[in-house]
Structure 1
Amino acid sequence: MTVTESGTTRANPAVVPAPGPRKRRSWRSGTGEALWGYLLIAPTGLGLAVFYLWPVLQTAYFSFTEWGPFGGHEWIGLENYETLAGDEDVLRALGNTVLYTLVGLLGIPVAVVLAALLNRRGLRGVAVYRALFFLPVVTMPVAVAMVWRWMYNGDYGLLNQALSAVGVEGPHWIADPATALYALALVGIWSSIGYNLVIFLAGMQAIPRELYEAAEIDGAGAVAQFRTVTLPMLSPSIFFVSVVSVIGSLQLFDLVYVIGGSGQTARGNPAYPRIQTVVALFYEKAFVTNDRGYAAAIVMALLLLIVALTAVQFRLQKKWVHYA
């Protein structure tokens, strides 16, 4: 306390101690932490480099080469890509793949609606429904294809038997060029709907309940709440599922190989040119006709297509968020 000339007292200002010298981080300490970080990510990084990065680089190199019937290859430059641009088989397979991808995207709104139904309050047996929908995801793709191949059989298949019970003659689903690709797309939707359902359910459960209560106070019904609350808040999950679905559809092979056949088996199926995808064509060129250089060019073109479509999806997502 200090006394002023007028006789009043005044408190002394608080004395702030001077800051001490900063403790510098030792170079050895920082290097040790970085070293531990690199050691922890080394197994994953090594696995990615060996099993993903190196095969991609090797395939890119082989796409500029020509292979002989007994092995060995020589550098031919851009000849494979020049042939690729005018190959009718490649263009047809690319069209089949894109059409399959577009039809497969119809499974996304179906999964959203099913997730909204399973997310309702008071619904009993939700865990059982989730397990049933997710069961195709954990089933081997070859097993799924074998079951659906039997169901699609035009003579004694389960689908045609059910249609004949109501007086409808079913087609030869896989052998008919008009229905073969859409039959495969239906299998793809059925196989992936469980995975999409789990993603959408997780996204819906993260939506704050207060938003639904506010919409209900404003007089919004169940459909209006779904349109104005659920869909906008679920857009990140829908975007993720759409990207994964497009990438997975462009890489379709197992269903075509098991249901439609390949090599000598495929030649007996008149609808095989209608369901042959880019990866199926790659398999045929690489392991049936042993034209591995040209096959590498096909798969590299597919890789560029996947990267381009994914970039477009990210671009559209940013614009959608901006205008929303």
Structure 2
Amino acid sequence: MWPWLFVAPTLLGLAVFYFWPVIQTAYFSFTTWGVFGGSEFTGLKNWIDLLESGAVPRALVNTLLYTAMVLLGIPISIYIASLLNRPGLRFAAFYRVLFFAPFVSMQAAIALVWGMIFNSQYGILNQFLGIFGIPPVYWTSTEWVALIAIGIVGIWSTLGFNIIILGAGLRSIPAEMYEAARIDGASNWRQLLSITVPLLSPSIFFLTVLSVIRGMELFDLIFIMIGESNPIKGDTQSMVSLFYREAFIGNDKGTGAAIAILLMLIIGLLTVIQFWVQRRWLSFE
């Protein structure tokens, strides 16, 4: 009895603030809402409209592309964490704080700063490229270039957290294993593949799951860097951006709820796949 009493507040909070909203949103996805409120049960109409709409596949592709780019930050983080983990490195703690600072910054602030950097007219990046005679690049007004620019910001903003997690994992690997490998003639590349990556696999798996979830929830960077007046906003929108436009700008709560449930199912499916795949390569030894 006592264990249930101790966990009851947490279970009650989950039921009220998580499970009930999910159930309510699932119900809303089968309804159509009027302009002045009030709903009507319309069955699968919203879901059929989503499947027939070209906006959802495009938004899903954009979201998956961004997520894939963010995942590229993990191998980059492994390399940087290895550099920061070298014995005798001065100011290592300062460097870790420097890398970690963007992660604790507001996404809106990050998007505003990088939006100015990528500005095609007065941005620092184009001014730097102009030194080498490279013409201005329209970073946030060209479809695929804008997606790459947003992916770069996504990688940059998550590097710090990845480095902290991977750095802790690297410090837990016994130095004797590397010494024995060097005595056996193993190259740095072989040590990376045979020692570092296998022993870091729990940390890599943890970061992969988090990166996929965060990537699928992309909204702030697109909303601020691309903007509502940008002609390519429809070609670069993510699933959450599409949900925002349908539910709040278009005032179509039913379709917005269907998009939210669809996104939740996709994230759940990707997470299940990752947990299934990790059985084949995850090592806790």
Larger Rg: 1
- Distance in 2 of aligned mates of 1:302 and 1:134: 29
Give CA deviations for 1:23-68 in whole Å, capped at 9, x if unaligned.
Answer: xxxxxxxxxxx42x33332333232222222211111111111100
Which position in structure 2 is the counterpart of 1:198? 164
Match of residue 213, structure 2, among 247, 266, 286: 247
Aligned-pair identity (%): 50
CA distance in 2, matches of 1:49, 1:162: 53
Which of the numbers 54, 74, 91 marks the counterpart of 2:57? Answer: 91
Match of 1:284 in 2: 245
Whole-angstrom CA distance in 2 between matches of 1:275 and 1:125:
40
Q: Does 1:156 align with 2:122?
A: yes
Q: Which residue of 1 aligns with 2:142?
A: 176
Query: Within 5 A, what are the aligned runs for 1:98-113?
Result: 98-113=64-79
1:66/1:293 contact within 8 Å kept? yes
Cα distance, 1:256 vs structure 2:
1.1
1:314 to 272, 275, 279: 275
Which has the higher mean CA deviation after the structures are superposed, 135-144 or 209-218?
209-218
CA RMSD of superposed structures (Å): 1.5
Q: Give the CA deviation at 1:225.
A: 1.8
TM-score computed with the length of structure 2 as normaliser: 0.95
Deviation sequence 1:66-96 (CA, Å, 0-9, x none) = 1001111111111111111111111111111
Instruction: Give 2:106's match in structure 1, choosing from 99, 124, 140.
Output: 140
CA distance in 1, matches of 2:80, 2:11: 38
- Which residue number corresponds to residue 165 of structure 1? 131
Contact 2:201-2:281 within 8 A present in 1 as well: no
1:269 aligns with 2:235: no
Deviation at 1:321, TM superposition (A): 4.2
Q: SS of the counterpart of 1:179?
A: helix
Runs of 4+ in 1 over 3 A off after TM superposition: none
Unpaired runs of at least 5, structure 2:
none
Report how far residue 222 of structure 1 moved: 3.1
CA contact (8 A) 1:177 1:270 kept: no
Whether contact under 8 Å (2:198, 2:282) holds in the other structure is: no
Check whether the contact 1:176–1:271 (CA below 8 A) recurs between aligned residues.
yes
Distance across 2 between alignment mates of 1:235 and 1:64: 42
The equivalent position to 1:48 in structure 2, one of 10, 14, 17, is 14
Q: Note the C-alpha offset of 1:168.
A: 1.3
- Aligned counterparts of 1:75 and 1:178: Cα–Cα separation in 2: 39
Distance 1:210 1:40 in 2: 45
Q: 1:297 aligns with which of 255, 258, 262?
A: 258
In the alignment, the residues of structure 1 paired with residue 123 and residue 173 of structure 2 have an alpha-carbon distance, to the nearest angstrom, of 44
**CA–CA distance in structure 2, aligned partners of residues 42 and 127 of structure 1:** 41
Q: Is this contact kept in 2: 1:180–1:274, CA < 8 A?
A: no
Q: CA deviation at 1:223?
A: 3.2
Q: How big is the shift at 1:122? A: 1.2
Q: Distance in 2 between matches of 1:305 and 1:178?
A: 23
Structure 1 unaligned segments of length 5 or more: list them.
1-33
Q: 1:160 and 1:316 mapped to 2: Cα distance?
A: 42
Q: Give the corresponding residue for 2:201.
A: 235
**Aligned residue for 2:31?**
65
Q: For residue 247 of structure 2, what is the amino acid of its counterpart?
A: A
